[in-house]
């Protein structure tokens, strides 16, 4: 289930390119994406569990060029303990195919795995990683790519769908599973998340929908994502501290 859609020549596409290609990797590129992942899992972890059950392990699709790059992003998002289950084997992956032999399983694979990827184009990498995990014993693999790229030039139908989607503000409270059902109304935890949602909504809409070269998504929007990430970490730390105090009683 992708966190968001995006197209070429948008600020999100530029951010993802810098995150994947800057040498050395830069925290300024990683942090907004970590904030997006943290906010999405915070809002929709229950949606994923409703269809797949609670995941037993969190892992990533490793890049053959930079195997630990995505791990650093997921650790910064602090969405759960990260387990290195896959390493690249050197096998080839071509578009629109499934090649589990492209990955080697590095540890015991539990029944349910949350699999995070950064980008999804044809889906070959994430499907190959999921297939490798299932061959090694996983019953369910839930794939969450940060961005699913859309090519409006693929055809008239795709262009029309993209035009409709890009006109809408990004809403962190909606996902393909819950479709903004409003179940969070009156929920104290949801109210804690709302400042995170507000910052991410505006930030991601700017990153996803603005044409590359424009001002949207580059200045205040990226700052909003960093502020949202900082707020999310404070909320989690407060909850952990409260839990610790309760346990001491």
In tens digits, the chain (249 residues) has pLDDT values of 889 888 888 888 999 999 999 999 999 999 999 999 999 999 999 999 988 899 999 999 998 888 789 999 999 999 999 999 999 998 888 877 899 999 999 999 999 999 999 999 889 999 999 999 999 999 999 999 999 988 888 888 888 888 888 787 778 888 888 764 444 443 444 334 444 444 445 555 555 544 443 333 333 345 555 555 555 555 555 545 555 544 444
**Alpha-carbon distance 16 to 247, whole Å?**
41
- Output the pLDDT for position 94: 85
- Output the pLDDT for position 96: 77
Task: Report residue 124 as tokens.
Answer: 């070959």
Residues near 40 by beta carbon (within 8 Å), at least 6 away in sequence: 3, 144, 172, 175
- Output the pLDDT for position 89: 92
- Output the pLDDT for position 139: 95
Does 248 map to a domain?
Answer: no
Peptide bond into 69 cis (omega under 30): no
Domain that includes residue 82, residue range: 4-176+185-242
The CA-based dihedral angle spanning residues 103, 108, 44, 192, taken in that order and rounded to the nearest 10 degrees: -120
Does 249 map to a domain?
Answer: no
CB contact at 8 A, 126 and 143: yes
- Output the pLDDT for position 233: 56
Does 168 map to a domain?
Answer: yes
- Output the pLDDT for position 231: 53
- Output the pLDDT for position 72: 94
Number of domains making up the chain: 1
Does 218 map to a domain?
Answer: yes
- Output the pLDDT for position 230: 59
- Output the pLDDT for position 210: 47
- Output the pLDDT for position 237: 58
Does 216 map to a domain?
Answer: yes
Does 247 map to a domain?
Answer: no
Q: Is the pTM of this model over 0.85?
A: no
Report the half-sphere exposure of 124 (CA within 13 A, side-chain side): 12
- Output the pLDDT for position 108: 96
- Output the pLDDT for position 241: 58
**Alpha-carbon distance 171 to 158, whole Å?**
21
**Alpha-carbon distance 229 to 237, whole Å?**
12
Does 36 map to a domain?
Answer: yes
- Output the pLDDT for position 246: 47
For the chain, what is the HEC assignment? CCCEEEECCCHHHHHHHHHHHCCCCCHHHHHHHHHHHHHHHHHHHHHHHHHHCCCCEEEECCCCCCCCHHHHHHHHHCCCCECCCEEECCCCCCCCCCCHHHEEECCCCCCEEEEEEEEECCCHHHHHHHHHHHHCCCCEEEEEEEEEEECHHHCHHHHHHHHHHHCCCCCCCCCCCCCCCCCCCCCHHHHHHHHHHHHHHHHHHHHHHCCCCCCCCCCHHHHHHHHHHHHHHHHHHHHHHHHHHHHHC
Does 146 map to a domain?
Answer: yes
**Alpha-carbon distance 150 to 121, whole Å?**
8
How far from each other are the two terminal CA atoms of the chain, in whole angstroms?
41
- Output the pLDDT for position 248: 47
């Amino acid at each position: 289930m992708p966190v968001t859609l995006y197209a070429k020549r948008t600020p999100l596409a530029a951010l993802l390119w810098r995150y994947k290609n800057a040498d050395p990797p830069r925290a300024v590129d990683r942090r907004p994406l970590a904030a997006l992942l943290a906010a999405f899992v915070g809002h929709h972890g229950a949606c994923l569990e409703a269809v797949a059950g609670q995941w037993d392990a969190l892992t990533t699709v490793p890049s053959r060029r930079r195997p630990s790059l995505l791990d650093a992003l997921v650790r910064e998002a602090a969405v759960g303990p990260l387990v290195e289950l896959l390493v690249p084997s050197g096998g080839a992956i071509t578009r629109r195919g499934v090649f589990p032999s492209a990955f080697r399983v590095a540890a015991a694979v539990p029944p349910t795995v949350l699999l995070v990827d950064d980008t999804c184009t044809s889906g070959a990498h994430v499907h190959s990683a999921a297939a490798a995990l299932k061959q090694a014993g996983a019953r369910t693999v839930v794939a969450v790519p940060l961005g699913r790229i859309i090519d409006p030039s693929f055809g008239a139908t795709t262009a029309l769908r993209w035009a409709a989607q890009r006109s809408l503000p990004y809403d962190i409270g909606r996902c393909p599973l819950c479709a903004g059902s409003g179940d969070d109304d009156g929920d104290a935890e949801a109210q804690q998340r709302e400042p995170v949602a507000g910052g991410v909504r505006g930030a991601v809409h700017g990153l996803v929908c603005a044409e590359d070269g424009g001002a949207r998504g580059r200045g205040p929007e990226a700052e909003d994502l960093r502020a949202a990430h900082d707020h999310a970490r404070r909320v989690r730390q407060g909850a952990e501290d409260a839990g610790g105090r309760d346990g001491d009683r």
